[in-house]
Amino acid sequence: MRDMKRVLLTGASGRIGSYLRGALAQDFALHLNDVADLGPARANETLFQGDLTDPDLCARMVAGLDAIAHFGGRSGIHSFADVLHSNIVGMQVLYEAARKAGVRRIVWASSNHVTGFHPVTEVIDPASPRRPDSFYGVSKSFGEDLSRFYFDRFGIETLCLRIGSCFPEPTARRMLATWLSHRDLEQLVRLGLSAGRIGHMVVYATSETREGFWHSPALRVLGYRPKDDADAFAARFDGPSPERFQGGPFATAPLAEDRA
């Protein structure tokens, strides 16, 4: 196991990033980034508020680091212009800064929406065709290709976590198939930061479930053992999910451009 001590966490003011900020603080010296207010710095934290499309900011953030946990960017149903800026341009600027600084490991929040147009009747794996369900899914598909390029060309390893629905508990019937608990997310991030050679690895990130859409054999190789089980919440939801596609409402929602 590698001893990762200095880690940049992007998106540290977001819903998931805020959880990871607290969860990782006791074991890592954290550089924290977000465009939103990060609040006061705590022990072992250095704050960098600003946009990931700023090359100078990214260069300062990654200097001397061992690894990056990249959870910044726009999530949800947004216009192409929004995801282009945050999820595509910002990610390339960050990877380029990592390359120049010699950072060799990145754990990145990809998304199940890369394959959201597969029907719920299928069980797929990371080798299945990508079928993005939104511009958000398209931006995450780009990110997987970008991280692959930086591995093949420059040797930067990336664990791409295709996150399903990361909440304290499932809040809808579909989440019995897609749910990732906070502590299972933490386990995956810690494994990605500290495991031996991983190359370029893409996995679906969920807790235990009998109703899942996804199969990721590499999770066992990585050492992931879910602590939580979505089936414990099944009694809360009656009947089957109304969704036809694995991406749920992302696959049928109007484009942001059409709502303008």
Query: Whole-angstrom Cα distance, residue 217 to residue 204?
Result: 10
Query: Whole-angstrom Cα distance, residue 111 to residue 131?
Result: 12
Amino acid of residue 93: V
For residue 6, the SS3 value is strand
Query: Whole-angstrom Cα distance, residue 64 to residue 36?
Result: 24
Whether 150 is catalytic: no
Tokens representing residue 156 in the block: 């930067």
* Residues linked to residue 7 through DSSP beta bridges, in sequence order: 30, 67
Do 44 and 25 contact (CB within 8 A), yes or no?
Answer: yes
CA angle at 198 for the pair 203 and 168, rounded to the nearest 5°? 40
Helix H or strand E encompassing 143: helix 135-154
CA distances in angstroms from 169 to 164, 166, 258, listed in the order given: 13, 8, 32
Out of 19, 95, 136, 150, which one is annotated catalytic?
136
Q: What is the DSSP letter of 129?
A: P
Q: Which positions are catalytic? A: 136
